[in-house]
Every structure is written in structure tokens, then in C-alpha cells.
Chains A and B, each alone.
Chain A
């Protein structure tokens, strides 16, 4: 077993007072001195943009690096449903304590209590902040904010802007960032991709990035480096992530010493449009909010080929309502996904490939009228119609689970600092708040909590003692050596000159992972994947074909580097899944389930964060453990019945 040596630096005191105490105890940098510190922020999604903007407002000098052409393109923009906050505007019994409890329980007791409590506390301020920036949240006729309910909760605490909440929140953060760019506190480096972390005397001191237009390698030096580079869902090739989302920044940081925590905690979202063919390039999410008004069902009889409207109600199986009467269609994502898989595996799937279940709005349309449904979900219905050619107002949607979010990420302490001093990790890129399963509408909350409120309050503790210390000069040998490594790797990719495209390997890797380490995992399937992945990686380096050169805009080269990293990272993901001999949240090991097929945790042996240390090429990673101590909530078998 690994060692227990990770200190999460959780402040002392009662849970509800930790964050307050901590903010009082951290060292501060006085306003006039802040401009003497340079912070490199990588990534411009909710976490990165909000962090860069806020650090800029505080007076730090920020270098913001993003591979996108504009910060506004980051994949946070595609989040549809909403953002949670414990405002209790509906007077339905919500509170900070309840949001905290729902998140811990939803995460199947695999997250750190203190972080989650802080998240719930800060959630309230996020909504205030976003409204002040002009985020056009949905309103009631009286002018107050509207809310809706979401999976895993029995209260309505989700704020939303039609089906484009992520877009509006990101634009809010992007605009705050734009203001700082004009003010001169933030410098924007767009179409610039981080390819390595520079570590000097055990501290993160900079990054090496590639200008994607000219191919030039750039050196950035700073007093701290902040990674807000998103999740690794694209390791499965088919996911709801944007095509360019990747794990290169976190993986390169991992190889430079940052521990990677719980990589096997991946979320399969229940409501995505089923894959239709082998040329499919990505999967599209249909917001979980649809489960508020849509009812999920399959034909009760195997092989019932009648069109949905011809199947009478008593010959349908509303399997979520039947199995989970208390939460019904609003059970958490992992539960809903597995239930759908069970129906499809049993042969009750619908659609031409029998790979979906119905999400039916006919009852809601009859009850509320088409116009209400159109107002709530119009853009989602339109998106569905574009992709499938079917009209969801008259024909039930077909949905099936798909890889959507990754709870695992680089290990961080309470301050969001990784195990490399000076390296912070925010948003989906870190592991901290969602345990083994994230609740709907909580990703946006966490990204903004980290960026607007947590990092700006904790980073001064690291920076203050560095006052007067210059950044490491970019001609220092450590920068030269790191840049040389990056450059050699690029040459290596270009020089293979094999026969197969990068996408070929990426698809193949995705297939191995989905088949063996997807919604269900077993020791056998994981061992199989552990055999196949290194072989595929070897084949990649022997047979990949990357055309073009390095000194110009070259998308194949960008993709090749990312897929090469996925091929290394996938092995760690599978290894983590293999070692965790229990089922929890999104990690479902078939060997460990209750008699009625629910996830069976093993708290005695696995109530810890598994944080893996890179031990070099070809060497087995070293496991470190952070025990999870529950003081406020007693772990129980999750029940949504």
C-alpha cells in the first residue's frame, strides 16, 4: 500500500469557521507590493479567467496563457444547465449545510470535508458577483432571480441563463478579464499552448509554451504558476468535451512532480445523444435540467420495436421512477447512467442501434404547454433536432450516457496548491471537491469559487515571503533545459513518419478505455487495458504520421502532443481504477455491488484520496494517500430511494 504523507493543510477549528480563520491567518501582500509579483495563469475557462481577472484587480501582474484564439472559447462555455448556490431564495429548506451535505453525499464520501464546506459558503457570493457583472440570469416577473432543481438535490438552488449558463458565466469572467487587460495588469497570450512546467529548486517558476501560429517556443517566468486547464475526459476520445480539451498541462506538471489524485473518478453523464456512427467525432450533452420535466423510460418488453407513441403507458418502464421513488428522474448522474446502461444491456434499448433510452416530454408539454417547455429548453431542443433530425416536441428524445467530466485531477491542499510548491491548480484540473461523483450545476460553482474567491485569498501566503525576490531569469539553465526537452519531443513526433494518423490512435485508446474502464470496471477488464495501453503507446511512437513542420500553424502536431500524453495518462487512470477495490460514485467495480446493483463502498480500506507520484518512464507510479476524515457527516450507503 502506499504511504500516508500528504498534508492537506486543513485549518483547525469548527468546519463552519475554518475558512474565516484561515483567511485571517494567511500572510498578505500589501497593495503597493502586489505589482512586484508575476503570476502565470494557464487556461481561460471559468477558473482561469476568473482567477486572472481577480488577481489583476488585486494588483498582481498576470500572464494569461491560452491555446484558444480567444479566452471566450474555453469549454466552460458549453455548460448548459446552471450553477448551484445555497441562497435559499425558494424558502425550501436550503442552507450552506445542506449544499455541503448534498455535495459530500453526491460525491459518495470521497471528497475533503473542509474544501466542500468552503465551496458551499462561497457559492452564495458567486451569484452576487455574477449578477453585478451583468450575467443575465433567468428572472421571475417580479424581477427576482429564478431557480430550478437539479439531480441529487431535493431543493431548487440552481441559477440559470436559459440553456447557456456556462456561456454567460464565462462571458462575465472574460469581460472582467478584458477590463484587466485594458488596465494593463493582465497580459493575454492567445493561441499559446503550455507544453511543460519549469521547476527550479523544487519550486514552480515558469512554463514553456508554444506559439501555435508561428511555432516559436516561449519561456514564461513567474513567482507562481496556476493551472486551470480543465479535465481529461477526452482521453476516452468520444466525450462531451470540446475537441481541443486535453490533459497535457496537468500531465506535464505531474511528470515534474505534482501528484495526480483519483484519476479513475470519471463522470459518465446520463443525458447525451447516443452515438450514431463510426465517424462520430464527439458526443453532445443534453442538459441534466431536462430531467426536471422529461420522464425517462424504455419499452417494458425486450425487442418492442413499435414507435414510442404507439407503446401504451402500461407497457413502458419508467425505470428511474420505479427504482428510486423519492428522487425519481432526478437521481445523481452516476446512478442514472448505470440504470440506463442496465436497461440497454438487457436489450431494451431504443433507436436504430438500440443504444439509447427515451427522455419523454409529452406529459410536461400537456401539463405546462409547449411555450413553457420552449422557454425552458428551446435551444436544447433545437440542438437535438439539428443533430438527429428528429423533433423532440413530438418524438421522445433518445439519450445515453457519455463521458462528461473528470473528478480526478492534480492533488491540491486546502490552499489549492499542488505538491510542487508555487504550483496551484483550479477548477476541473484539480481533484478536490466532487469526490467520486459531481452533482449537476456544481462544476461552474467550483470553477468560479476557485478563481474568484479561493485562490486570490490563499496565493498571498505563498507570495508574501518571496517579496523582493526576482523571478528566475528566462535564460537560466533550467529554462534552457526544459525548452530543449520540449523541442526534442516535438522533433520526435515529427520524425516518426509512420503510416497512421493521430486520430487513429486516439480513437483506439478511447475504445480500450470505454470498453474496459468505462461505466463498469472489473479486475479482469482493467488488467486487459493495462496490457493494451502500453502496446498502443509503443505503436504510436513507431507508426504515427504527423505531417507538416514545427514552424507554422500545425494542428496535427498540436493533436499529436496531446494524444501522446493521453497515452501515458490513460495507464495511470486504469491503474488507479485497478487499485481501488470498491465501488463509489462514478467508479463502479462489478465485483463490489449491493444485492440490488448499487455501488458498494469499502470505507475501512479506501476512505482516502489516492495520489500518484510519477516515478519515471516505465516505472510503476508511487501511491500516496490522504486519509479522508469525516467529522460533520457520517458516511452511509447512499440511498435515493
Chain B
């Protein structure tokens, strides 16, 4: 098949960028989207031009490195699929494909299609953990967790931290990322003691870097792991409750 690629090139954060057009002739539909970029880069190197920088690693849809805006959609047209798992057979033959980096104030550009997503790490560092120093754990089966609870926590924990939710959001908000981690930990019994401080710290850190959520729902549609926007409701509810809560009583139920 044939494709025309319009690729964003930008030598560094302070340099203006531009689109570059490349005709990709006779490429196999079984090729993955990143292999298309491998092919392009081999060609550029052969022509003595610098290859396109892009983040990628596992190429199995789990590490969350890949991050391409494909025709205005994070990770492209296939639902629930990261860029690395997108194959050319899902694109129309002869199409022109525009590829850009994640566009969000919270993710500054490093080069070409590579952005800096360390703000996500700052949100986790602010409270996205359960305090359990090594060695202090009780026997694993002493903590009974109903299957439904474990499953729901796992649904949230499936987040790969790619940032598609932020890139899709008209406000550049990171609510879905933050809510997914918050829900994973706070649905579990182990996560209860720190629940109310966790929600306040994570939300405050998130707001330092990202825009505000206005319930567009674009994040859920863009998420390669199809994480539900319902978790944002949990995050918002708990954030409000935390402001009103007497933390000294937090260990009690109800």
C-alpha cells in the first residue's frame, strides 16, 4: 500500500517546528505503524538526513513509551490500541497521515515526536503509592479482597502512563491518569489508611502541571487501555470528601 506521511520535525524545545512530507510507497499492510517509521528512518539515514526521533520501547502496548498523534488522535484510529500495536492494515490505502507529538502544556517537546512526561512521575511521587516498607507485610492471604474489588482495582491499574488522555483533552487535563492510579490504590483495603491524604496530594500535584477537567470524555475514547471515566467520578467525590473529613477517624468504616 501507499501512504503519505506528514511528520512534525522540531530540533529542540526552543526551536520552531515544521511538517515534513514523505511518500511511503509499496509498504506492507502487515507492518506496524512504528515499523513504518523504522523504514522511513532507514531511508532518511541513507539520504544523509537525520532520522525522526520518537519514543518507543516494548512494542507490545504495555510500556507506554510510544506517543504519536495520528491524524489528530492519540495513538490513531483503532480503539484501545497504542501506536505500536497499530498496523497499517487498519489505515486506508493512499491516505495522507499527519503525525505529531503529544500536544499539551504539561508535556514539553524534547525533539520531533518526543515529549517530556515526567510530570506523571511527580503525581505518583506525591501520593500514588501505599506505604509498605519492605519486610513489614503480613501473609498475603491475611488480606481478603473480594474478587470484584480486585478486578475493579486491576481495571484501573491497567493504565500504562502513556499520556494519551492528556493529549486528547481540549484542556490538557490529566484527570484520567490520576484517577486510574488513585482508584487502583483506593479501592483496595490496603489503600484505605492513606486514602484521604493521597487524594488531596495527588490532585494538588496534578493541578500544578495540567489543565482542569471539564468532562469532555475525550480521554476515555483515546485511552489505549480503555480505562473508564467513572474513575474520575471516584477521584472527584473523594477529593471533596477529603476536604470535609476528620482524618483522625479515617480508619473507621462508613
Chain A residues within CB distance 8 Å of chain B = 50, 53-54, 57, 68-75, 77-78, 87, 89, 125, 127-134, 136-145, 161-162, 164, 167-168, 171, 174-176, 178-179, 181-182, 188, 190, 213, 242-244, 276-277, 279-282, 284-285, 382-383, 386-387, 389, 452-453, 456, 501, 503-504, 545, 547-548, 552-553, 555-556
Contacts and interface: CB of A to CB of B under 8 A. Distances in A.
Contacts of A503: 38, 42
B30 interface: yes
Contacts of A162: 154, 158
A143 B144 contact: yes
B153 interface: yes
Interface in B110-129: 110-111, 114, 116-118, 120-121, 124-126, 128-129
A167 to B, nearest CB: 6
B132 A129 contact: yes
Contacts of B141: 87, 89, 144-145
Given A75-B57, A77-B63, A78-B60, A131 B137 contact: yes
B11 A552 contact: yes
A279 B60 contact: no
B51 interface: yes
Given A70-B117, A501-B45, A279 B132 contact: no
Contacts, number: 213
Contacts of B153: 134, 136
B130 A161 contact: no
B59 A281 contact: yes
B16 interface: no
Nearest to B131: A179
Given A70-B118, A78-B60, A161 B124 contact: no
Interface stretch (B93-101, B164-172, B185-193, B234-242): B185-193
B62 A164 contact: yes
Interface string B25-40: 0001011101100110
Contacts of A504: 42
Nearest to B190: A134
B130 A132 contact: yes
B65 to A, nearest CB: 5
Contacts of A171: 157
B87 interface: yes
A134 B57 contact: no
Contact of B59 (A89, A282, A501, A556): A282
Contacts of A280: 35
Contacts of A176: 129, 132, 134
Interface of B is mostly: loop
Given A78-B60, A134-B190, A174-B124, 12 more contacts: A73-B57, A74-B63, A77-B63, A131-B143, A141-B147, A164-B158, A176-B129, A243-B59, A383-B85, A386-B87, A545-B48, A547-B50
A74 B57 CA distance: 9
Contacts of A57: 133-134
B157 A75 contact: no
B113 to A, nearest CB: 11
Contacts of A138: 150
Nearest to A181: B125
30 contacts: A57-B134, A70-B118, A72-B121, A73-B64, A78-B60, A87-B141, A129-B135, A132-B138, A134-B132, A134-B153, A134-B191, A136-B154, A140-B147, A161-B154, A168-B157, A174-B124, A176-B132, A178-B121, A178-B128, A181-B125, A182-B126, A213-B110, A242-B58, A243-B58, A383-B61, A383-B85, A386-B78, A389-B87, A503-B42, A545-B48
Contacts of A132: 130, 132, 136-138, 143, 190
A144 B147 CA distance: 8
Contacts of B140: 87, 127-128, 130-131, 137, 145
Contacts of A386: 61, 78, 81, 85-87
Contacts of A456: 134
A501 B143 CA distance: 54
Contacts of B78: 386
Looking at A68, A242, A389, which has the most chain B CB atoms within 10 Å of its CB?
A: A242
Contacts of B81: 386
B126 A53 contact: no
Contacts of A285: 60
Contacts of B185: 134
Nearest to B141: A144
Contacts of A54: 134
Contacts of A78: 58, 60, 62-63
A131 B134 contact: no
A145 B133 CA distance: 21
A137 B150 contact: yes
Contacts of A555: 51, 53
B73 interface: no
Which of the four size classes fits the interface of chain B?
A: 35 or more
A595 to B, nearest CB: 40
Contact of B58 (A75, A139, A182): A75
Contacts of A133: 129-130, 132, 190
A68 to B, nearest CB: 7
B46 interface: yes
B89 interface: yes
Contact of B134 (A129, A137, A140, A556): A129
**Closest 8 CB pairs between A and B?**
A143-B144, A132-B137, A175-B129, A132-B132, A128-B137, A131-B140, A136-B154, A139-B150
Contact of A545 (B31, B45, B137, B138): B45
Interface string B173-192: 00000000000110010110
A452 B31 CA distance: 40
A176 B185 CA distance: 13
Given A139-B146, A143-B144, A386-B85, A552 B111 contact: yes
Contacts of B63: 72-75, 77-78, 242
B117 to A, nearest CB: 6
A53 B131 CA distance: 11
A144 B143 CA distance: 8
B111 A553 contact: yes
Nearest to A188: B121
B90 to A, nearest CB: 9
B6 interface: no
A553 B53 contact: yes
B161 interface: yes
B145 interface: yes
A391 B87 CA distance: 15
A243 B57 contact: yes
Given A131-B143, A386-B87, A552-B111, A277 B31 contact: yes
A188 B160 CA distance: 20
A175 B130 contact: yes
A276 B239 CA distance: 50
